[in-house]
Amino acid sequence: MMRWVSLQNSMAKVVATATVGAVVLGALGGLGTGAASAASVHNPHKAAQVAKAPNGSGYSYLAGVGPWTVSMRRVGNVSVEQIRGAWLLGQVRFHTNDPYYSCLNGTALNAWRVPANPGVVIVHNGDQGRQCVYGTFVYQPFYTGTFGGTLVVLAWHANVSVEALGDSSLFGQLTNFQSNDPYYACLDGTTTTGGATINVWTAPKEFGTSDVAHNGGQGPQCVYGTFVFGTN
């Protein structure tokens, strides 16, 4: 059975404590309802601003990411694949009760990250060949784990080889890594097995008093990631 994720339910208190690198979806906006213009494609700050468009009354837009089911917000359609620096994260399973997009139900849609809003996952099926309809949907992923017996919220950080930094020091290990970001799905657990164990480091020159979870130096990994949390 898929796990349901909602910022309004049991995760609300956890997500509310995230103070590092938080991205508010409501801040997105500015392109209108059409595709990105040629000028905006070469302006990462404008191109990454996806227009706000409220969901239709009673309509839901869901993404299946591994064991998670995520509620997304529909925004004005943008050619995300044309944004400079756009990074394909993987794919999500799409489902909606909106008749306009229902022809996409059950299909795998591409999920992207863009430089100007790295904390937001943008789901868009451009660059996937001919489609019955094109759409753009967004959600803010979560990253959590257990450290020192406490559930902690992690903030995504561009990957850094922390173990190679001159001032880095291994501080401990974070267990049961969980995320609904498709890029890190292989590190997430399932309903019967825990998530990955990730080394935790300190590197004061680069990360100040924050702790840094990074799985470099742990042998071959399905994907490498860097996440920041808390203070020492």
- The answer to whether residues 112 and 90 touch, using CB atoms and an 8 Å cutoff, is no
Q: In this model, does residue 92 exceed pLDDT 60?
A: yes
Asked whether residue 130 falls in the same domain as residue 149, the answer is no
Q: Which of 139, 169, 196 is where one domain is finished?
A: 139
pLDDT, tens digit, 9 for 90 and up, residues 129-157? 999 999 999 999 999 999 999 999 999 99
Residue 18 within a domain: no
In a domain, 41, yes or no: yes
- Of 105, 122, 139, the residue at which a domain comes to its end is 139
The reported pTM is 0.75
Domain coverage including residue 59? 24-139
Q: Kindly state whether residues 222 and 194 are assigned to the same domain.
A: yes
Contacts 24+ apart (CB under 8 A), 203-210: 203/162, 203/165, 203/167, 203/168, 203/169, 204/167, 205/165, 205/166, 205/167, 206/160, 206/162, 206/165, 206/167, 210/20
- 175 and 90 within one domain: no
Q: What is the pLDDT of residues 191-230, one digit of tens each?
A: 556 799 999 999 999 999 999 999 999 999 999 999 999 8
* Residue pLDDT, tens place only, 2-34: 444 433 333 333 333 232 223 323 334 432 222
Q: Is residue 38 part of a domain?
A: yes
Residue 212, SS3 per DSSP: strand
